[in-house]
Amino acid sequence: MRLFAAFALLLGLFIAPPPAWAQSAEERTRLDWVQQRGRMIYEIDRAAWVTTDDLRERIRDLQAAGIRGWTVERDGNAYVVTYYAGEGEARAALYRGRVENRRVVSRDVFADGGRPPLTALQRRLADARNAVPRMALRACVNSPFNVAVIPPETPEGAIDVYVLTPQVRNGYFPFGGHFRATLTPGGEIAAERAFTNSCLEMPVPGRGQPRVAGIGIRHFLDGIPTEIHVFLSIWTGFPLFVAAGEPQRVWIVRPDGIELMDQNRAPRM
């Protein structure tokens, strides 16, 4: 993925309905998955963020509390984040927060001696996060990665782990340094990939500037946009214009959908 220009020029300049013949049914199915997965990455990352803030208000000394990590699970349209203490089979919940619409709506804080043990699924999610040091990653900033562990579709299904470069300075977003690993039910790393070949940091202006239409990117590793593009669109607050494939096609990636631009109106990248 490489930057081709800072921003599109005018809001709405490239908005056009995609020609139906320009994308296959297989691509459309994949793009629907990409859209859902990108949103889930963001929601899981956000759920961990808001519950961390809520946790700190209730447990002042997190180090003394012995917190070893956290898990995020789906519960309908909500996410349940569990922070745990202990090791191995002795891991038990210390705090559990429910997140709806990216806000903590309820929580439980468990006293020592009354902490529920982690479930089998929670132990798998925790182990998946702990597998990050075994992955072949290249850090882009001098700061710990953010990690989003996707709950498996079935209790014994594979688990995808997204390792994300964090934002380290205001006004700049990391467009490179994001990775995905797939873990088997036994915890082995079955596959890994990077979403870019290099580290990229993109200056992004504040939201609410009407003349900024979006952010342009040239992507080399896939023929269509990826879930990381959806994640970045939500995170930055701007559409992404993603040029991918050979011959090149340009896609508009927004939080609520991915559209293929009319080739006669798409910018050259």
Q: Which residue has the higher pLDDT, 212 or 162?
A: 162
Instruction: Please give the pLDDT value at position 264.
Output: 55
- What value does the mean pLDDT take over residues 25-48? 96
Confidence bin at 3 (pLDDT 50/70/90) = very low
Is a pLDDT exceeding 90 seen at residue 204? no
Confidence bin at 4 (pLDDT 50/70/90) = very low
Residue with tokens 């349940």: 80
What does the alpha-carbon distance between residue 227 and residue 30 come to, in Å, rounded to a whole number?
Answer: 10
Instruction: Please give the pLDDT value at position 10.
Output: 31
Taking the model in full, what pTM does it have?
0.88
> What is the per-residue pLDDT across 70-109, written as a single tens digit (0 to 9) for each?
999 999 999 999 999 999 999 999 999 999 999 999 999 9
What does the alpha-carbon distance between residue 217 and residue 245 come to, in Å, rounded to a whole number?
Answer: 12
Lowest mean pLDDT among 10-24, 30-44, 48-62, 184-198: 10-24
> What is the per-residue pLDDT across 120-149, written as a single tens digit (0 to 9) for each?
999 999 999 999 999 988 889 999 999 999
Instruction: Please give the pLDDT value at position 207.
Output: 59
Pick from 147, 144, 158, 136: which is nearest to 71 by CA? 147
Evaluate whether 106 touches 121 at the Cβ level (below 8 Å).
Answer: no
Pick from 43, 114, 110: which is nearest to 82 by CA? 110
Query: Before 247, cis peptide (omega within 30)?
Result: yes
What does the alpha-carbon distance between residue 66 and residue 57 come to, in Å, rounded to a whole number?
Answer: 16
Amino acid at 139: A
Vertex 77 angle, CA 40 and 159, to 5°: 40
- The 3-state DSSP class for residue 58 equals helix
Lowest mean pLDDT among 10-19, 107-116, 164-173, 179-188: 10-19
Is a pLDDT exceeding 70 seen at residue 9? no
